[in-house]
Structure 1
Amino acid sequence: MTNASPSLAPAAPSSAPSTPRPAPAPSPSPFQFFTVEVLRAERITPAMARIVLGGPDLARMASAGRDQRVKLFLPRPGQSEPVMPDMRAADWYGAWRALDPAVRGIMRTYTLRELRREPDELVIDFALHTDSGDASGPASRWAGAAAPGDRIRVLAPVEEENAGYDFRPPDGTDWILLTADESALPAVAGILGTLPPATPARIWIEVHDPADRQELPTQADAHITWLVRNASPTTPDAIRAAALPEGTPYAWVAGEAATVKAVRRHLVADRGFDRRAVKFSGYWRRGASEDNLMEAAENA
Protein backbone atom coordinates (compact mmCIF):
# COMPACT_ATOMS: atom_id res chain seq x y z
CA MET A 1 0.00 0.00 0.00
CA THR A 2 1.08 3.57 -0.50
CA ASN A 3 0.68 4.77 3.07
CA ALA A 4 3.60 4.08 5.38
CA SER A 5 2.67 2.28 8.57
CA PRO A 6 3.14 4.37 11.74
CA SER A 7 3.44 1.27 13.92
CA LEU A 8 6.65 0.10 12.30
CA ALA A 9 10.07 1.39 13.18
CA PRO A 10 12.32 3.09 10.60
CA ALA A 11 14.69 0.77 8.79
CA ALA A 12 17.58 -0.38 10.93
CA PRO A 13 21.18 -0.55 9.70
CA SER A 14 21.79 -3.35 7.21
CA SER A 15 23.48 -5.45 9.86
CA ALA A 16 20.19 -6.04 11.69
CA PRO A 17 16.52 -6.21 10.62
CA SER A 18 14.22 -3.54 11.96
CA THR A 19 11.52 -4.66 14.36
CA PRO A 20 7.83 -3.69 14.18
CA ARG A 21 6.81 -1.41 17.02
CA PRO A 22 3.41 -0.89 18.66
CA ALA A 23 0.98 1.61 17.26
CA PRO A 24 -0.59 4.35 19.36
CA ALA A 25 -4.17 3.91 20.52
CA PRO A 26 -6.67 4.51 17.68
CA SER A 27 -8.94 7.55 17.59
CA PRO A 28 -12.54 6.80 18.60
CA SER A 29 -14.33 7.31 15.28
CA PRO A 30 -12.23 8.75 12.46
CA PHE A 31 -14.52 7.32 9.75
CA GLN A 32 -16.63 9.01 7.10
CA PHE A 33 -18.79 8.01 4.14
CA PHE A 34 -17.50 8.45 0.60
CA THR A 35 -19.34 8.26 -2.70
CA VAL A 36 -17.12 6.57 -5.28
CA GLU A 37 -17.48 5.15 -8.77
CA VAL A 38 -15.72 2.46 -10.72
CA LEU A 39 -12.85 3.75 -12.84
CA ARG A 40 -11.48 0.40 -13.98
CA ALA A 41 -12.24 -3.28 -13.41
CA GLU A 42 -9.90 -6.14 -14.25
CA ARG A 43 -9.45 -9.83 -13.51
CA ILE A 44 -5.95 -10.07 -12.02
CA THR A 45 -6.17 -13.86 -11.51
CA PRO A 46 -8.94 -16.34 -12.32
CA ALA A 47 -10.29 -15.96 -8.77
CA MET A 48 -9.64 -12.27 -8.09
CA ALA A 49 -11.19 -9.11 -9.53
CA ARG A 50 -9.52 -5.76 -8.94
CA ILE A 51 -11.83 -2.75 -8.82
CA VAL A 52 -10.26 0.72 -8.98
CA LEU A 53 -12.56 3.41 -7.56
CA GLY A 54 -12.41 7.19 -7.77
CA GLY A 55 -14.27 10.13 -6.30
CA PRO A 56 -13.93 13.88 -5.79
CA ASP A 57 -13.19 13.66 -2.06
CA LEU A 58 -10.88 10.62 -1.90
CA ALA A 59 -8.06 12.96 -0.91
CA ARG A 60 -9.63 12.97 2.59
CA MET A 61 -9.48 9.18 2.90
CA ALA A 62 -6.55 7.80 4.90
CA SER A 63 -5.00 4.44 5.67
CA ALA A 64 -2.11 3.10 7.70
CA GLY A 65 -1.80 0.22 5.27
CA ARG A 66 -1.64 -3.27 6.70
CA ASP A 67 -5.04 -4.98 6.98
CA GLN A 68 -7.10 -1.78 6.80
CA ARG A 69 -10.83 -2.60 6.76
CA VAL A 70 -13.60 -0.54 5.18
CA LYS A 71 -17.34 -1.02 4.74
CA LEU A 72 -18.70 -1.20 1.20
CA PHE A 73 -22.36 -0.49 0.40
CA LEU A 74 -23.43 -2.01 -2.91
CA PRO A 75 -26.58 -1.55 -4.98
CA ARG A 76 -29.12 -4.29 -5.33
CA PRO A 77 -30.13 -5.58 -8.78
CA GLY A 78 -31.98 -2.86 -10.68
CA GLN A 79 -30.51 -0.02 -8.57
CA SER A 80 -28.03 2.47 -10.05
CA GLU A 81 -26.49 3.06 -6.62
CA PRO A 82 -27.11 1.73 -3.10
CA VAL A 83 -30.08 2.99 -1.11
CA MET A 84 -28.66 4.61 2.02
CA PRO A 85 -29.92 6.51 5.09
CA ASP A 86 -28.74 10.02 5.88
CA MET A 87 -25.00 9.41 5.94
CA ARG A 88 -24.54 12.30 8.38
CA ALA A 89 -26.57 10.48 11.04
CA ALA A 90 -24.69 9.78 14.27
CA ASP A 91 -26.18 6.27 14.40
CA TRP A 92 -25.69 5.39 10.74
CA TYR A 93 -25.87 1.66 11.48
CA GLY A 94 -29.23 1.96 13.25
CA ALA A 95 -30.52 4.11 10.39
CA TRP A 96 -29.28 1.58 7.83
CA ARG A 97 -30.91 -1.32 9.73
CA ALA A 98 -34.19 0.61 9.86
CA LEU A 99 -34.41 0.61 6.06
CA ASP A 100 -36.28 -2.17 4.26
CA PRO A 101 -33.78 -5.09 4.07
CA ALA A 102 -34.96 -5.85 0.54
CA VAL A 103 -34.09 -2.32 -0.62
CA ARG A 104 -31.21 -0.97 1.48
CA GLY A 105 -27.64 -1.03 0.22
CA ILE A 106 -25.82 -4.34 0.71
CA MET A 107 -23.10 -3.91 3.36
CA ARG A 108 -19.89 -5.91 3.20
CA THR A 109 -16.51 -5.62 4.95
CA TYR A 110 -13.41 -5.57 2.75
CA THR A 111 -9.71 -4.85 3.10
CA LEU A 112 -8.09 -2.04 1.14
CA ARG A 113 -5.63 -3.36 -1.40
CA GLU A 114 -4.21 0.10 -1.98
CA LEU A 115 -4.97 3.79 -1.50
CA ARG A 116 -3.16 5.63 -4.28
CA ARG A 117 -2.25 9.27 -4.68
CA GLU A 118 -1.75 11.48 -7.73
CA PRO A 119 -4.36 10.58 -8.79
CA ASP A 120 -6.45 9.59 -5.76
CA GLU A 121 -7.68 6.03 -6.28
CA LEU A 122 -9.10 3.37 -3.97
CA VAL A 123 -8.28 -0.23 -4.94
CA ILE A 124 -10.31 -3.19 -3.67
CA ASP A 125 -9.64 -6.83 -4.64
CA PHE A 126 -12.61 -9.21 -4.60
CA ALA A 127 -12.21 -12.99 -4.28
CA LEU A 128 -14.61 -14.62 -6.74
CA HIS A 129 -14.15 -18.38 -6.41
CA THR A 130 -16.93 -20.60 -5.09
CA ASP A 131 -15.15 -21.89 -1.97
CA SER A 132 -15.98 -18.78 0.06
CA GLY A 133 -19.26 -18.60 1.94
CA ASP A 134 -20.07 -15.31 0.16
CA ALA A 135 -18.48 -16.18 -3.19
CA SER A 136 -21.78 -16.56 -5.03
CA GLY A 137 -23.33 -13.69 -3.10
CA PRO A 138 -23.99 -10.08 -4.04
CA ALA A 139 -20.47 -8.71 -3.50
CA SER A 140 -18.86 -11.22 -5.84
CA ARG A 141 -21.63 -10.80 -8.40
CA TRP A 142 -21.26 -7.02 -8.27
CA ALA A 143 -17.47 -7.18 -8.65
CA GLY A 144 -17.71 -9.66 -11.51
CA ALA A 145 -20.00 -7.33 -13.46
CA ALA A 146 -18.60 -3.94 -12.34
CA ALA A 147 -18.14 -1.39 -15.11
CA PRO A 148 -16.83 2.20 -15.27
CA GLY A 149 -19.35 4.62 -13.82
CA ASP A 150 -20.97 2.17 -11.37
CA ARG A 151 -21.44 3.93 -8.02
CA ILE A 152 -21.14 2.61 -4.48
CA ARG A 153 -20.64 4.05 -0.97
CA VAL A 154 -17.64 3.40 1.26
CA LEU A 155 -17.26 3.94 5.01
CA ALA A 156 -13.53 4.54 5.45
CA PRO A 157 -11.06 6.27 7.78
CA VAL A 158 -9.96 9.88 7.46
CA GLU A 159 -7.05 9.38 9.87
CA GLU A 160 -4.18 6.94 9.34
CA GLU A 161 -4.38 5.73 12.94
CA ASN A 162 -7.80 4.14 13.38
CA ALA A 163 -9.55 1.06 14.76
CA GLY A 164 -10.01 -0.54 11.32
CA TYR A 165 -6.95 -2.77 11.27
CA ASP A 166 -5.54 -5.49 13.52
CA PHE A 167 -1.90 -6.01 12.52
CA ARG A 168 -0.10 -4.43 15.50
CA PRO A 169 3.12 -6.26 16.40
CA PRO A 170 4.27 -5.33 19.91
CA ASP A 171 7.67 -3.94 20.74
CA GLY A 172 10.23 -6.73 20.93
CA THR A 173 8.84 -8.77 18.03
CA ASP A 174 11.65 -10.61 16.20
CA TRP A 175 9.75 -12.13 13.30
CA ILE A 176 6.31 -12.26 11.67
CA LEU A 177 4.06 -15.21 10.74
CA LEU A 178 1.12 -14.68 8.37
CA THR A 179 -1.50 -17.11 7.05
CA ALA A 180 -4.35 -16.41 4.66
CA ASP A 181 -6.59 -17.66 1.90
CA GLU A 182 -7.97 -15.63 -1.04
CA SER A 183 -10.28 -13.64 1.24
CA ALA A 184 -7.32 -12.35 3.27
CA LEU A 185 -4.81 -12.12 0.43
CA PRO A 186 -5.29 -8.33 -0.03
CA ALA A 187 -4.58 -7.86 3.68
CA VAL A 188 -1.39 -9.92 3.47
CA ALA A 189 -0.31 -7.84 0.49
CA GLY A 190 -0.90 -4.66 2.51
CA ILE A 191 1.00 -6.00 5.51
CA LEU A 192 3.98 -7.13 3.43
CA GLY A 193 4.06 -3.78 1.67
CA THR A 194 4.53 -1.95 4.97
CA LEU A 195 7.04 -4.22 6.73
CA PRO A 196 10.45 -2.60 7.20
CA PRO A 197 13.36 -3.91 5.15
CA ALA A 198 14.81 -7.25 6.23
CA THR A 199 12.03 -8.06 8.72
CA PRO A 200 11.91 -11.87 8.93
CA ALA A 201 8.49 -13.11 7.81
CA ARG A 202 7.05 -16.55 7.10
CA ILE A 203 3.83 -16.65 5.09
CA TRP A 204 1.40 -19.41 4.06
CA ILE A 205 -1.34 -18.58 1.55
CA GLU A 206 -3.97 -21.07 0.37
CA VAL A 207 -5.53 -20.53 -3.08
CA HIS A 208 -7.98 -22.38 -5.29
CA ASP A 209 -5.64 -22.88 -8.24
CA PRO A 210 -1.92 -22.30 -9.00
CA ALA A 211 -2.98 -19.53 -11.40
CA ASP A 212 -4.35 -17.58 -8.42
CA ARG A 213 -0.88 -16.83 -7.05
CA GLN A 214 0.17 -13.17 -7.15
CA GLU A 215 3.33 -11.14 -6.93
CA LEU A 216 3.52 -9.64 -3.42
CA PRO A 217 6.15 -6.88 -3.36
CA THR A 218 7.90 -6.41 -0.03
CA GLN A 219 11.21 -5.27 1.42
CA ALA A 220 10.91 -7.83 4.22
CA ASP A 221 12.88 -11.06 4.34
CA ALA A 222 9.71 -12.90 3.35
CA HIS A 223 9.42 -16.62 2.64
CA ILE A 224 6.03 -17.23 1.01
CA THR A 225 4.57 -20.73 0.69
CA TRP A 226 1.63 -21.05 -1.71
CA LEU A 227 -0.77 -23.90 -0.97
CA VAL A 228 -3.25 -25.13 -3.59
CA ARG A 229 -6.51 -26.29 -2.10
CA ASN A 230 -7.10 -30.05 -2.40
CA ALA A 231 -3.62 -30.51 -3.93
CA SER A 232 -1.31 -29.35 -1.12
CA PRO A 233 -1.22 -29.88 2.63
CA THR A 234 -3.73 -27.77 4.50
CA THR A 235 -2.46 -24.58 6.09
CA PRO A 236 -2.39 -26.08 9.62
CA ASP A 237 -0.55 -29.18 8.37
CA ALA A 238 1.96 -27.11 6.40
CA ILE A 239 2.80 -25.02 9.45
CA ARG A 240 3.10 -28.11 11.65
CA ALA A 241 5.76 -29.47 9.28
CA ALA A 242 7.70 -26.19 9.05
CA ALA A 243 10.84 -25.13 10.87
CA LEU A 244 10.18 -21.68 12.31
CA PRO A 245 12.71 -18.94 13.14
CA GLU A 246 14.11 -18.41 16.61
CA GLY A 247 13.10 -15.39 18.66
CA THR A 248 9.83 -13.74 19.65
CA PRO A 249 7.10 -14.16 17.02
CA TYR A 250 3.97 -12.23 16.17
CA ALA A 251 1.31 -14.10 14.18
CA TRP A 252 -1.52 -12.70 12.08
CA VAL A 253 -3.93 -15.48 11.05
CA ALA A 254 -6.95 -14.84 8.81
CA GLY A 255 -9.26 -16.59 6.38
CA GLU A 256 -11.89 -19.32 6.79
CA ALA A 257 -12.94 -19.53 10.44
CA ALA A 258 -12.27 -23.24 11.07
CA THR A 259 -8.82 -23.06 9.48
CA VAL A 260 -7.97 -19.95 11.50
CA LYS A 261 -9.00 -21.70 14.71
CA ALA A 262 -6.85 -24.75 13.91
CA VAL A 263 -3.78 -22.63 13.13
CA ARG A 264 -4.17 -20.60 16.31
CA ARG A 265 -4.56 -23.74 18.41
CA HIS A 266 -1.38 -25.20 16.93
CA LEU A 267 0.67 -22.03 17.41
CA VAL A 268 -0.37 -21.59 21.05
CA ALA A 269 -0.66 -25.20 22.23
CA ASP A 270 2.09 -26.87 20.20
CA ARG A 271 4.53 -24.07 19.34
CA GLY A 272 4.25 -22.14 22.58
CA PHE A 273 3.28 -18.78 21.06
CA ASP A 274 2.04 -16.23 23.57
CA ARG A 275 -1.74 -15.95 23.08
CA ARG A 276 -1.39 -12.18 23.03
CA ALA A 277 1.00 -12.46 20.08
CA VAL A 278 -1.49 -14.29 17.86
CA LYS A 279 -4.03 -12.04 16.16
CA PHE A 280 -6.66 -14.19 14.48
CA SER A 281 -9.70 -13.30 12.42
CA GLY A 282 -12.28 -15.48 10.66
CA TYR A 283 -12.95 -13.52 7.48
CA TRP A 284 -15.65 -15.99 6.48
CA ARG A 285 -17.23 -19.24 7.57
CA ARG A 286 -17.86 -22.09 5.17
CA GLY A 287 -21.55 -22.17 4.30
CA ALA A 288 -22.37 -18.75 5.80
CA SER A 289 -22.54 -15.26 4.29
CA GLU A 290 -21.80 -12.03 6.13
CA ASP A 291 -25.56 -11.48 6.38
CA ASN A 292 -25.90 -14.82 8.19
CA LEU A 293 -23.12 -13.93 10.62
CA MET A 294 -24.51 -10.45 11.35
CA GLU A 295 -27.99 -11.88 11.94
CA ALA A 296 -26.60 -14.51 14.32
CA ALA A 297 -24.66 -11.90 16.27
CA GLU A 298 -27.70 -9.63 16.55
CA ASN A 299 -29.89 -12.49 17.79
CA ALA A 300 -27.33 -13.88 20.25
Structure 2
Amino acid sequence: MGDQIPMLATVTAVRLLTPRMARITVVSDELQRFGYDGPDQLVRIFVPNGITDELTLPVTTAWWPELNEMPEASRPVLRNYTVRRLDRASGELDIDFVLHGHGATAGPGSSWAGQARPGDKIGLLSDGADYLPPVDTEWVLLVGDESALPAIAVILEQSPDDLPVVTLLEVEDASDELPLAGSGSVQWLHRGSGPRNEIALSTLRSMDLPGGTPYVWTAGEAGLATGVRRHLVGERGISKDRIYFCGYWRAAAAEPDDQ
Protein backbone atom coordinates (compact mmCIF):
# COMPACT_ATOMS: atom_id res chain seq x y z
CA MET A 1 0.00 0.00 0.00
CA GLY A 2 3.02 2.32 -0.13
CA ASP A 3 4.78 4.41 2.49
CA GLN A 4 2.31 7.28 2.61
CA ILE A 5 0.30 8.60 5.52
CA PRO A 6 -3.25 9.89 4.89
CA MET A 7 -3.51 13.67 5.08
CA LEU A 8 -6.37 15.71 6.49
CA ALA A 9 -8.02 18.31 4.24
CA THR A 10 -10.87 20.79 4.66
CA VAL A 11 -13.64 21.54 2.17
CA THR A 12 -13.55 25.20 1.07
CA ALA A 13 -16.00 25.21 -1.84
CA VAL A 14 -18.75 23.09 -3.39
CA ARG A 15 -19.88 23.96 -6.91
CA LEU A 16 -22.51 22.23 -9.01
CA LEU A 17 -21.09 21.73 -12.52
CA THR A 18 -24.15 19.93 -13.89
CA PRO A 19 -27.33 18.61 -12.25
CA ARG A 20 -25.42 15.38 -11.57
CA MET A 21 -21.83 16.46 -10.96
CA ALA A 22 -20.30 18.58 -8.19
CA ARG A 23 -16.78 19.97 -7.89
CA ILE A 24 -15.46 20.00 -4.35
CA THR A 25 -12.37 22.04 -3.50
CA VAL A 26 -10.34 21.08 -0.45
CA VAL A 27 -7.26 22.62 1.13
CA SER A 28 -4.43 21.12 3.14
CA ASP A 29 -0.93 22.25 4.09
CA GLU A 30 0.13 18.65 3.49
CA LEU A 31 -0.63 18.70 -0.25
CA GLN A 32 3.04 19.52 -0.87
CA ARG A 33 3.68 15.79 -0.38
CA PHE A 34 0.80 14.59 -2.54
CA GLY A 35 2.16 12.45 -5.38
CA TYR A 36 1.02 13.33 -8.90
CA ASP A 37 1.99 10.88 -11.67
CA GLY A 38 -0.28 11.70 -14.62
CA PRO A 39 -3.57 13.15 -15.86
CA ASP A 40 -5.73 10.27 -14.59
CA GLN A 41 -4.23 10.61 -11.11
CA LEU A 42 -6.29 8.84 -8.47
CA VAL A 43 -6.84 9.99 -4.91
CA ARG A 44 -8.06 7.74 -2.14
CA ILE A 45 -10.59 9.65 -0.08
CA PHE A 46 -11.57 8.92 3.51
CA VAL A 47 -15.00 10.22 4.56
CA PRO A 48 -17.20 9.73 7.63
CA ASN A 49 -19.09 6.45 7.61
CA GLY A 50 -22.58 7.77 8.37
CA ILE A 51 -22.62 6.24 11.83
CA THR A 52 -20.63 9.20 13.09
CA ASP A 53 -19.90 12.60 11.55
CA GLU A 54 -16.41 12.57 13.06
CA LEU A 55 -13.52 11.67 10.77
CA THR A 56 -10.78 9.49 12.22
CA LEU A 57 -7.81 8.81 9.93
CA PRO A 58 -5.01 6.25 10.07
CA VAL A 59 -1.83 7.94 11.29
CA THR A 60 0.98 5.63 10.13
CA THR A 61 2.39 4.32 6.85
CA ALA A 62 0.73 1.00 7.75
CA TRP A 63 -2.56 2.79 7.13
CA TRP A 64 -4.34 -0.17 5.55
CA PRO A 65 -4.09 -2.61 8.49
CA GLU A 66 -4.66 0.33 10.82
CA LEU A 67 -7.87 1.17 8.96
CA ASN A 68 -9.12 -2.40 9.15
CA GLU A 69 -8.40 -2.61 12.87
CA MET A 70 -10.51 0.46 13.65
CA PRO A 71 -13.88 -0.14 15.36
CA GLU A 72 -16.66 -0.19 12.78
CA ALA A 73 -18.37 2.76 14.44
CA SER A 74 -15.39 5.06 13.81
CA ARG A 75 -13.82 3.49 10.69
CA PRO A 76 -13.99 5.95 7.75
CA VAL A 77 -15.22 4.94 4.30
CA LEU A 78 -12.50 4.60 1.65
CA ARG A 79 -13.15 5.30 -2.04
CA ASN A 80 -11.11 6.24 -5.14
CA TYR A 81 -11.69 9.34 -7.25
CA THR A 82 -9.81 11.27 -9.93
CA VAL A 83 -7.86 14.43 -9.13
CA ARG A 84 -9.38 17.15 -11.28
CA ARG A 85 -6.87 19.84 -10.25
CA LEU A 86 -3.89 19.99 -7.90
CA ASP A 87 -2.29 23.31 -6.94
CA ARG A 88 0.46 22.67 -4.43
CA ALA A 89 1.33 26.38 -4.22
CA SER A 90 -2.11 27.25 -2.83
CA GLY A 91 -2.58 23.87 -1.15
CA GLU A 92 -5.79 23.23 -3.12
CA LEU A 93 -7.19 20.10 -4.76
CA ASP A 94 -10.40 19.68 -6.78
CA ILE A 95 -12.40 16.45 -7.05
CA ASP A 96 -15.44 16.08 -9.32
CA PHE A 97 -18.15 13.78 -7.93
CA VAL A 98 -20.98 12.15 -9.86
CA LEU A 99 -24.08 12.69 -7.71
CA HIS A 100 -26.75 10.04 -7.19
CA GLY A 101 -28.78 11.47 -4.33
CA HIS A 102 -29.06 9.31 -1.25
CA GLY A 103 -30.11 5.82 -0.35
CA ALA A 104 -29.22 2.41 -1.75
CA THR A 105 -28.14 3.64 -5.20
CA ALA A 106 -25.98 6.53 -4.03
CA GLY A 107 -23.00 4.96 -2.28
CA PRO A 108 -21.02 6.66 0.49
CA GLY A 109 -18.82 8.84 -1.72
CA SER A 110 -21.73 10.31 -3.66
CA SER A 111 -23.80 10.69 -0.48
CA TRP A 112 -20.96 12.57 1.22
CA ALA A 113 -20.41 14.83 -1.79
CA GLY A 114 -24.12 15.61 -2.05
CA GLN A 115 -24.12 16.94 1.50
CA ALA A 116 -20.60 18.42 1.70
CA ARG A 117 -20.24 21.97 2.96
CA PRO A 118 -17.26 24.28 3.55
CA GLY A 119 -15.55 23.29 6.77
CA ASP A 120 -16.17 19.55 6.35
CA LYS A 121 -13.15 17.27 6.75
CA ILE A 122 -11.87 14.63 4.33
CA GLY A 123 -8.81 12.38 4.24
CA LEU A 124 -6.60 12.15 1.13
CA LEU A 125 -3.98 9.71 -0.10
CA SER A 126 -2.32 9.69 -3.54
CA ASP A 127 -2.98 6.48 -5.48
CA GLY A 128 -1.05 6.72 -8.76
CA ALA A 129 -1.93 7.21 -12.43
CA ASP A 130 -2.05 4.95 -15.50
CA TYR A 131 -2.39 7.13 -18.63
CA LEU A 132 0.92 6.70 -20.45
CA PRO A 133 0.91 6.64 -24.26
CA PRO A 134 4.04 4.94 -25.65
CA VAL A 135 6.44 7.24 -27.50
CA ASP A 136 5.39 5.80 -30.87
CA THR A 137 1.69 6.69 -30.38
CA GLU A 138 0.24 8.42 -33.43
CA TRP A 139 -3.30 8.95 -32.13
CA VAL A 140 -5.31 8.39 -28.95
CA LEU A 141 -8.80 7.02 -28.35
CA LEU A 142 -10.63 7.89 -25.11
CA VAL A 143 -13.91 6.19 -24.20
CA GLY A 144 -15.78 6.66 -20.94
CA ASP A 145 -18.96 7.52 -19.07
CA GLU A 146 -19.72 10.16 -16.42
CA SER A 147 -17.39 8.55 -13.89
CA ALA A 148 -14.50 8.82 -16.38
CA LEU A 149 -15.28 12.40 -17.40
CA PRO A 150 -12.93 14.07 -14.86
CA ALA A 151 -9.96 11.96 -15.99
CA ILE A 152 -10.75 12.46 -19.68
CA ALA A 153 -11.04 16.21 -19.15
CA VAL A 154 -7.54 16.36 -17.63
CA ILE A 155 -6.09 14.06 -20.32
CA LEU A 156 -7.42 16.41 -23.00
CA GLU A 157 -6.04 19.47 -21.19
CA GLN A 158 -2.59 17.90 -20.96
CA SER A 159 -2.43 16.31 -24.43
CA PRO A 160 0.07 17.80 -26.92
CA ASP A 161 -1.58 19.90 -29.61
CA ASP A 162 -0.06 17.74 -32.35
CA LEU A 163 -1.43 14.44 -30.98
CA PRO A 164 -4.84 13.57 -32.51
CA VAL A 165 -7.36 12.48 -29.86
CA VAL A 166 -10.76 10.88 -30.55
CA THR A 167 -13.13 10.95 -27.58
CA LEU A 168 -16.44 9.16 -26.94
CA LEU A 169 -18.33 10.14 -23.79
CA GLU A 170 -21.60 8.45 -22.87
CA VAL A 171 -23.79 10.45 -20.46
CA GLU A 172 -27.47 10.56 -19.63
CA ASP A 173 -28.38 13.71 -21.56
CA ALA A 174 -27.14 17.09 -22.74
CA SER A 175 -27.27 18.55 -19.22
CA ASP A 176 -24.27 16.33 -18.32
CA GLU A 177 -22.00 17.87 -20.96
CA LEU A 178 -19.10 20.06 -19.87
CA PRO A 179 -16.67 22.24 -21.85
CA LEU A 180 -13.55 20.25 -22.72
CA ALA A 181 -10.14 21.53 -23.77
CA GLY A 182 -8.18 20.36 -26.79
CA SER A 183 -8.78 20.40 -30.51
CA GLY A 184 -9.60 16.71 -30.95
CA SER A 185 -12.88 15.10 -31.89
CA VAL A 186 -15.32 14.74 -28.97
CA GLN A 187 -18.65 12.94 -29.35
CA TRP A 188 -21.18 13.28 -26.54
CA LEU A 189 -23.50 10.28 -26.60
CA HIS A 190 -26.84 10.49 -24.77
CA ARG A 191 -28.21 7.20 -23.42
CA GLY A 192 -31.43 8.75 -22.11
CA SER A 193 -33.48 5.96 -20.60
CA GLY A 194 -31.67 3.35 -22.69
CA PRO A 195 -29.25 0.72 -21.41
CA ARG A 196 -25.87 1.85 -20.14
CA ASN A 197 -22.90 1.41 -22.50
CA GLU A 198 -25.03 0.46 -25.53
CA ILE A 199 -24.75 3.73 -27.44
CA ALA A 200 -21.02 4.09 -26.73
CA LEU A 201 -20.22 0.56 -27.88
CA SER A 202 -22.46 0.72 -30.96
CA THR A 203 -20.96 4.08 -31.96
CA LEU A 204 -17.44 2.71 -31.58
CA ARG A 205 -18.27 -0.36 -33.69
CA SER A 206 -19.49 1.83 -36.54
CA MET A 207 -16.66 4.37 -36.48
CA ASP A 208 -13.90 4.80 -39.01
CA LEU A 209 -10.86 5.07 -36.78
CA PRO A 210 -7.64 6.84 -37.83
CA GLY A 211 -4.77 4.88 -39.30
CA GLY A 212 -1.43 4.59 -37.59
CA THR A 213 -0.40 3.39 -34.16
CA PRO A 214 -3.00 4.04 -31.45
CA TYR A 215 -3.11 4.25 -27.68
CA VAL A 216 -6.47 3.60 -26.03
CA TRP A 217 -7.65 4.68 -22.58
CA THR A 218 -11.12 3.53 -21.53
CA ALA A 219 -12.78 3.59 -18.13
CA GLY A 220 -16.18 3.77 -16.47
CA GLU A 221 -18.74 1.06 -15.87
CA ALA A 222 -17.00 -2.32 -16.09
CA GLY A 223 -19.04 -3.50 -19.08
CA LEU A 224 -18.08 -0.41 -21.05
CA ALA A 225 -14.34 -0.74 -20.42
CA THR A 226 -14.24 -4.47 -21.16
CA GLY A 227 -16.55 -4.08 -24.17
CA VAL A 228 -14.29 -1.44 -25.71
CA ARG A 229 -11.22 -3.59 -25.21
CA ARG A 230 -12.91 -6.73 -26.55
CA HIS A 231 -14.05 -4.94 -29.71
CA LEU A 232 -10.73 -3.25 -30.42
CA VAL A 233 -8.67 -6.39 -29.89
CA GLY A 234 -11.04 -8.89 -31.50
CA GLU A 235 -12.45 -6.86 -34.40
CA ARG A 236 -9.92 -4.07 -35.00
CA GLY A 237 -6.73 -6.03 -34.36
CA ILE A 238 -5.35 -3.53 -31.86
CA SER A 239 -2.75 -5.08 -29.57
CA LYS A 240 -3.75 -5.51 -25.94
CA ASP A 241 -0.62 -3.70 -24.81
CA ARG A 242 -1.86 -0.53 -26.56
CA ILE A 243 -5.04 -0.45 -24.43
CA TYR A 244 -5.51 0.67 -20.83
CA PHE A 245 -8.93 -0.23 -19.46
CA CYS A 246 -10.44 0.05 -16.00
CA GLY A 247 -13.87 -0.74 -14.61
CA TYR A 248 -14.48 2.05 -12.12
CA TRP A 249 -17.76 0.49 -11.02
CA ARG A 250 -20.28 -2.29 -11.83
CA ALA A 251 -23.90 -1.60 -12.72
CA ALA A 252 -25.00 -4.93 -11.25
CA ALA A 253 -23.60 -3.97 -7.85
CA ALA A 254 -24.56 -0.32 -7.43
CA GLU A 255 -24.59 3.06 -9.07
CA PRO A 256 -21.12 4.56 -9.69
CA ASP A 257 -19.34 5.71 -6.55
CA ASP A 258 -15.76 6.07 -7.77
CA GLN A 259 -14.00 8.73 -9.84
Same fold per superposition (TM over 0.5): yes
Is 2:190 the counterpart of 1:228? yes
Is 2:111 the counterpart of 1:141? yes
In structure 2, relative to structure 1, the CA distance for the partners of 1:170 and 1:30 (3 Å cut) is farther
| Contact 1:176–1:201, Cα closer than 8 Å, also in 2 | yes
After superposition, what is the alpha-carbon deviation per residue over 1:183-240, rounded to whole angstroms, capped at 9, x for unaligned?
111111111111111210000001112111001123xx41000011137861111111
After superposition, what is the alpha-carbon deviation per residue over 1:268-297, rounded to whole angstroms, capped at 9, x for unaligned?
01111111001100000013259xxxxxxx
For residue 105 of structure 1, what is the aligned residue in structure 2?
76
Return the alpha-carbon distance in structure 2 between the equivalents of residues 135 and 199 of structure 1: 39
For residue 43 of structure 1, what is the aligned residue in structure 2?
16
The gaps in structure 2 that reach 5 residues or longer are none
For residue 36 of structure 2, what is the aligned residue in structure 1?
63
| TM-score where L is the length of structure 2 | 0.90
Q: Higher mean Cα deviation, 270-279 or 94-103?
A: 94-103
Find the residue that maps to 1:252 and give its secondary structure: strand
Q: Higher mean Cα deviation, 189-198 or 54-63?
A: 54-63
1:80-229 map, 5 Å: 80-85=53-58, 87-88=59-60, 90-129=61-100, 136-156=106-126, 164-218=128-182, 221-229=183-191
1:235-254 map, 5 Å: 235-254=200-219
Return the alpha-carbon distance in structure 2 between the equivalents of residues 289 and 101 of structure 1: 22
In structure 2, relative to structure 1, the CA distance for the partners of 1:253 and 1:57 (3 Å cut) is same
Return the alpha-carbon distance in structure 1 between the equivalents of residues 81 and 70 of structure 2: 22
After superposition, what is the alpha-carbon deviation per residue over 1:98-125, rounded to whole angstroms, capped at 9, x for unaligned?
2233430000011101102542210000
Q: Higher mean Cα deviation, 105-114 or 189-198?
A: 189-198
| Contact 1:129–1:208, Cα closer than 8 Å, also in 2 | no
Return the alpha-carbon distance in structure 1 between the equivalents of residues 53 and 26 of structure 2: 16
Find the residue that maps to 1:57 and give its secondary structure: helix
C-alpha displacement of 1:42 = 1.1
| Contact 1:65–1:194, Cα closer than 8 Å, also in 2 | no
Q: Higher mean Cα deviation, 97-106 or 140-149?
A: 97-106
| Contact 2:147–2:248, Cα closer than 8 Å, also in 1 | yes
Find the residue that maps to 2:23 and give its secondary structure: strand
Return the alpha-carbon distance in structure 2 between the equivalents of residues 119 and 48 of structure 1: 24
| Contact 1:82–1:106, Cα closer than 8 Å, also in 2 | no
C-alpha displacement of 1:78 = 5.7
Amino acid corresponding to residue 188 of structure 2 in structure 1: W
| TM-score where L is the length of structure 1 | 0.78
Give aligned pairs, total.
252
| Contact 1:127–1:140, Cα closer than 8 Å, also in 2 | yes
For residue 4 of structure 1, what is the aligned residue in structure 2?
none
Find the residue that maps to 1:97 and give its secondary structure: helix
| Contact 1:80–1:151, Cα closer than 8 Å, also in 2 | no
Q: 1:263 aligns with which of 224, 228, 252?
A: 228
